[in-house]
Amino acid sequence: MLCRAVLQDSHNFGMGQALMARSNVAKTLLNKQHAPFQSLNRRGEKCLFSIKSGLLALSQLGVFRPGKSLLTMMIIFMVGFGLSVTQAKASKYASIVIEEATGKVLFSRNADNLRYPASLTKIMTLYLLFEDIEAGRMTLKSRIPVSKTAAGRSPSKLYLKPGQSISAEQAIYALVTKSANDVATAIAEKLSGTERKFAKRMTRKAKALGMRRTVFKNASGLPNRRQKSTARDMAVLAVAMRRDFPQFYKYFSTQSFNWKGRKYGNHNKLLAKYSGTDGIKTGYINASGFNLVATVERNGVRLIGVVFGGKTSRSRDRHMMQILDNQFKRVKTITVRRAALAMPTTLPVAPPERGDKLPKSLPVSKSLPVSKTKTRPAAAPKKTEFIQLDIASAANPATDENPSWSVQIGNFAQRVNAHRAAIVARRTADDVLGMTPANLHLVTRGAIPLWRVRFNDLEEDQARAACAALFSAGRPCIAIAVSPTSRG
């Protein structure tokens, strides 16, 4: 705009043709007189030369005085131009690094400033798809039809045609690797009828997860001036994705995806070149710059990094690796004690709910290794210790030949604390619980609502092993035998 304005002024004075004729002379003259300006970046060279030439022409008409006036005006133009470019780049940048288990922020820059998420939006699209699959409303084999609207989305895309369909699992791969916009819209229409309704659902879910400043307007991240998020909110989403859907998180480590004979590589290059990386997603539109959310685990420490506004994908990746390297040097590594440690002879007994009768119990297996404990002289000897069954269940698993087992790690007044406890439990006993989703269920004790955390669908030996590992780390645990229809 600045260049056009200067040139327009020169034309208004009837100097358009003279300017073109004298451009080479002006360039030579100005380069000799103002050698310090040779260091200007290439992006601004063309515009700055036009400014120089225009000012020289106007000075010949007496609008500007040659010499100091011309030099002063040129400096003002160049400083203003340079500042505008710098400010534009800075306005896109934001970053944050957090430790997953504690939620502690280790590093942040502009973490709460609104930015365009670009294709990081697809993380929420996948979150809601996983939610519907887990709820039984869809399966990985469910077909997702492609509408004319979806097929018309701008690249990046699979170039699906109206009337075609794609399986839910193929759609997951397409979003994780190719970041296909046509597939994102198809998922939105499948789950909510229209992409607009789906975007409203995305925003509601964002608020529920604690993404306070995020608003979604589409499922893909294609440009929309009202679709905004923050680095902190995207870190919250990354935590929620692995916490709520550990069984699906493996998809984010997919390095390539084959579709119709063509191989699409994952845009997240940290998967291959940065040790410990196992997810999650990249994004880019012109308004956002190059974005990235990454999760990395080393020596028992898991960090989540978010970068917005990279100048290029390579510079963004380098910056992400740098800030993660710096934080890994700061945090203490965690030594996880495994379930290979000696198991206790007894497991703790849960108190019955009010108004419920105590059902029959199962004794602890005598085949388990016995840990050495000091006996109290005054205590009466006990014949058998029992494991408390699921009190909330009406079924009696003692009558079942193969009851399912669950591990309960506590009840919490706040949902966020329940989530954190689940993460710590999974890390402490990850040989058993590493890929088992945590079940958070709202229960009441008297008039007090509490969030109960359980890991379901375990074998008896798995439940005992998980509790043994948790006990050894000083964490609470109750192994519970339940019937398949009475899990909570």
Q: d(Cα 444, Cα 450) in Å, to the nearest integer?
A: 6
From the list 122, 178, 190, 205, the catalytic residue is: 122
Q: Which tokens go with 11?
A: 């034309």
From the list 179, 220, 393, 406, the catalytic residue is: 179
Q: Which tokens go with 29?
A: 């003259």
Q: d(Cα 307, Cα 131) in Å, to the nearest integer?
A: 26
Q: Is 307 helix (H, G, I), strand (E, B) or coil?
A: strand
Q: Which tokens go with 406?
A: 């669950």
Q: Are 106 and 327 in contact (CB under 8 A)?
A: yes
Kind of pairing between the strands at 362-363 and 301-310: unpaired
Q: d(Cα 180, Cα 172) in Å, to the nearest integer?
A: 10
Within 10 angstroms of residue 59's Cβ, the number of other Cβ atoms is 16
Catalytic-residue membership of 69:
no
- Please report which residue ranges of 61-147 form alpha helices under DSSP H: 68-90, 121-134
From the list 119, 220, 288, 406, the catalytic residue is: 119
Catalytic-residue membership of 382:
no
Q: d(Cα 419, Cα 410) in Å, to the nearest integer?
A: 11
Q: Are 247 and 426 in contact (CB under 8 A)?
A: no
Going through 332-392 in order, the beta strands assigned E by DSSP cover 362-363, 386-387
Give the C-alpha distances (Å, rounded to integers) separating 431 from 166, 299, 347, 436, 479. Answer: 34, 15, 19, 10, 16
Cα distance between the two ends of the chain: 64
- Which residues, including other chains, have CB under 8 Å from residue 235's CB and lie 6 or more apart? 96, 98, 293, 304, 306
Query: Looking at residue 111, what DSSP letter applies?
Result: T
Would you call 397 exposed, middle or buried from its count of C-beta atoms within 10 A (0-12, 13-18, 19+)?
buried
On the CB side of 108, CA atoms within 13 Å amount to 16
Catalytic-residue membership of 311:
no
Q: Are 31 and 38 in contact (CB under 8 A)?
A: yes
> What residues act catalytically?
119, 122, 179
